[in-house]
C-alpha cells in the first residue's frame, strides 16, 4: 500500500515519536488515516510529544511497545529505529509493509525532489543546493535528515517549487516508490557498521536512492569513488558524474584551478576553485555535485557561481568558533565517522589538538593513523570509545583521557600552543553523552566561548 489514494481508509502505526514520527503522524492524520504512535520513551519524559499528539488527534503509547503496533495496514519507522530490531523484523514476518517517513511524504510531494546521500558531505551539499535554488528565485524546501522532516512541508509544495532532501541510509532502507528527479551520491565509506550486517549492506542502502529512477531522471555521482562509479555506470538514469581527477569521463570537473561543467559537449568555465567560499578538496566535490544538480533542473550558471562564492558552510562542519591567544577552535561535531575526520585533518596545515570519541560504530581507525602521527600534537579522548581510541592511537601521538566535554575543552586549551588548531572532530556518534551531534557541537562552542 504505497499510494496516497488509499490513505483515507488506512490504519497506520508509527514507530518512534521523535521529530519525523510526529511529522508523519500529523501528515497521515491530515489525509484521513487512523494513526497510532508507539515509543519506548517513558511517559513522564514525553510531555512535549504527548501534547503534540493530542493536538493532532491520534492515539499513542509510551514506555513500551504493545501488540497494538501490529494492528495496522503498514508501519512507518523513524530513522533512529534499526531495521534489525525484533519489532521491525516481526512486522515484516507477519506481512506488514515498513516505510520511512521520507517515503510516505514523497507520496504527497508535488514538487520535483532533489535527494542527496553519501557517507560525508550530505548536510553541506543539501544546504548549498537549497541556497542555489533559493537564489534562483524558486520556492525551495530544504528538509530530510538535515533536521526538518519533509512531512511538515509537502502540503505547501507545488510543481513550480523544488524539495531538496538530505536522505540517510536508514531512511533509504525503507523506501518503496521514492523517486527523486535528481539523486546525488557523494561518496561511500565505512559507517554505521553497528547497524548493518556488513559494509556491502550499508552500500546497498545508499544505492537505493536510484532504484526508481528512469531515463528522464538525473543521477549525479562521484566518478572518483570506485564503488560508487562501478555501481552507477549501469543506472537507467541520465548520468552526471563529477570528478577532480578524470575530466574525460565527467559532466563536472576541476582542472588547473578552475571548475567546468559540460554544456552541449563542451566544457564551460563555472568558477575558479579559489573563489569557492568553502575550502578543501572535500568541499570541491560537494560544490561540483551541487552545481550539476542545480544545472540539471535549469538554474543559470551565473546564479550557481555566485552562490558557490558566497556560501560559507554549515554549523558543526569545520566551523570556526573563535580564535583565542593565537589558537583557532574549530567545531566539526558532524564528523561522526573516520572518513570525515580524515578530511578534517587534511584541511589544516597547523598542528592540531584533536578532541575525539563518543559512541563507536564499529570503526576501523587505521586510515587516521598516518595523519594523526603527522599532524596531531595531542588527542583528547571522550566517551565510550575513549579506551579503544587510546589503545589505537597511543603510539601515534599523546593521548589524554577526559571525563566530559568541559574537561576536554579545558585540557585541549592547556595542550594547544600559539598557531595550533583545537579541533572537535569525534569520528563517533554522540548518543553516549549527548542528544545528537548538534547538542555536542553547541556544548563545545559554549565551553570554548567561556574560556
The residues pairing with 38 across neighbouring beta strands, listed in sequence order, are 15, 61
Does residue 159 contact residue 150 with C-beta atoms inside 8 Å? Answer: no
Of residues 31, 122, 328, 375, which has the active-site annotation?
Answer: 122
Element (H, E) at 321: strand 319-324
Residue entry with cell 569520528: 427
The DSSP line for 285-296 is: HHHHHHHHHHHH
Indicate left, alpha or beta for 50 from its phi (over 0: left) and psi (-120 to 50: alpha).
alpha
Residue 244 C-alpha cell reads as 577532480
187 classed as catalytic: no
Q: How many CA atoms lie within 13 A of 227 on its CB side?
A: 16
The DSSP line for 359-379 is: B--S---GGGHHHHHHHEEEE
Indicate left, alpha or beta for 16 from its phi (over 0: left) and psi (-120 to 50: alpha).
left
Per DSSP, 31 falls in state T
Helix, strand, coil distribution of the chain in percent, nearest 5: 40, 25, 40
Does residue 182 contact residue 126 with C-beta atoms inside 8 Å? Answer: no
398 classed as catalytic: no
Residue entry with cell 594523526: 372
Of residues 31, 120, 135, 145, which has the active-site annotation?
Answer: 145
41 classed as catalytic: no
For 58-67, letters b (16+ CB in 10 Å) and e give bebbbeebee
Residue 4 C-alpha cell reads as 496516497
Judging by DSSP bridges, how do beta strands 319-324 and 327-331 pair with one another?
antiparallel
Of residues 31, 174, 179, 192, which has the active-site annotation?
Answer: 192
The residues pairing with 114 across neighbouring beta strands, listed in sequence order, are 164, 182
> Which amino acids are annotated catalytic?
122, 145, 192
Amino acid at each position: 500500500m504505497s499510494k496516497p489514494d488509499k490513505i483515507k481508509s488506512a490504519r497506520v502505526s508509527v514507530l518512534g515519536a521523535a521529530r519525523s514520527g510526529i511529522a508523519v503522524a500529523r501528515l497521515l492524520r491530515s489525509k484521513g488515516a487512523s494513526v497510532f504512535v508507539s515509543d519506548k520513551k517513558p511517559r513522564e519524559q514525553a510531555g512535549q510529544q504527548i501534547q503534540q499528539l493530542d493536538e493532532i488527534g491520534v492515539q499513542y503509547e509510551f514506555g513500551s511497545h504493545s501488540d497494538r503496533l501490529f494492528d495496522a495496514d503498514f508501519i512507518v519507522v523513524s530513522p533512529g529505529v534499526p531495521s534489525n530490531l525484533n519489532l521491525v523484523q516481526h512486522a515484516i514476518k507477519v506481512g506488514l509493509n515498513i516505510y520511512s517517513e521520507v517515503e510516505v511524504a514523497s507520496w504527497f510531494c508535488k514538487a520535483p525532489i532533489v535527494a542527496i546521500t553519501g557517507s560525508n558531505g550530505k548536510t553541506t551539499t543539501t544546504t548549498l543546493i537549497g541556497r542555489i535554488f533559493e537564489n534562483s528565485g524558486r520556492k525551495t524546501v530544504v528538509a530530510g535528515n538535515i533536521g526538518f522532516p519533509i512531512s511538515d512541508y509537502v502540503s505547501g509544495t507545488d510543481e513550480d517549487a523544488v524539495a531538496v532532501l538530505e536522505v540517510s541510509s536508514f531512511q533509504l532502507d525503507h523506501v518503496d516508490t521514492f523517486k527523486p528527479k535528481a539523486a546525488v551520491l557523494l561518496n561511500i565509506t565505512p559507517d554505521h557498521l553497528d547497524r548493518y550486517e556488513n559494509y556491502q549492506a550499508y552500500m546497498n542502502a545508499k544505492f537505493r536512492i536510484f532504484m526508481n529512477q528512469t531515463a528522464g531522471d538525473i543521477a549525479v555521482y562521484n566518478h572518483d569513488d570506485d564503488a560508487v562509479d562501478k555501481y552507477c555506470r549501469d543506472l537507467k538514469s541520465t548520468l552526471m558524474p563529477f570528478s577532480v581527477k578524470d575530466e574525460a569521463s565527467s559532466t563536472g570537473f576541476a582542472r588547473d584551478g578552475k571548475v567546468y561543467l559540460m554544456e552541449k559537449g563542451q566544457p564551460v568555465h563555472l568558477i575558479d576553485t579559489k573563489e569557492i567560499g568553502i575550502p578543501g578538496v572535500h568541499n570541491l566535490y560537494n560544490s561540483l555535485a551541487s552545481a550539476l544538480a542545480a544545472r540539471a533542473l535549469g538554474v543559470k550558471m551565473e546564479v550557481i557561481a555566485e552562490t558557490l562564492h558566497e556560501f560559507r558552510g554549515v554549523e558543526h562542519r569545520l566551523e570556526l568558533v573563535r580564535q583565542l591567544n593565537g589558537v583557532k577552535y574549530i567545531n566539526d561535531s558532524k564528523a561522526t565517522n573516520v572518513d570525515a575526520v580524515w578530511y578534517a585533518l587534511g584541511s589544516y596545515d597547523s598542528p592540531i589538538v584533536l578532541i575525539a570519541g563518543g559512541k563507536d560504530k564499529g570503526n576501523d581507525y587505521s586510515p587516521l593513523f598516518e595523519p594523526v602521527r603527522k599532524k596531531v600534537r595531542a588527542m583528547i579522548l571522550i566517551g565510550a570509545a575513549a579506551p579503544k581510541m587510546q589503545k589505537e592511537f597511543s603510539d601515534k601521538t599523546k593521548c589524554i583521557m577526559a571525563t566530559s566535554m568541559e574537561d576536554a575543552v579545558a585540557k585541549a586549551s592547556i595542550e594547544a600552543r600559539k598557531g595550533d588548531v583545537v579541533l572537535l572532530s569525534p569520528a563517533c556518534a554522540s548518543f553516549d553523552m549527548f542528544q545528537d551531534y548538534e547538542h555536542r557541537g553547541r556544548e563545545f562552542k559554549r565551553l570554548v566561548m567561556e574560556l
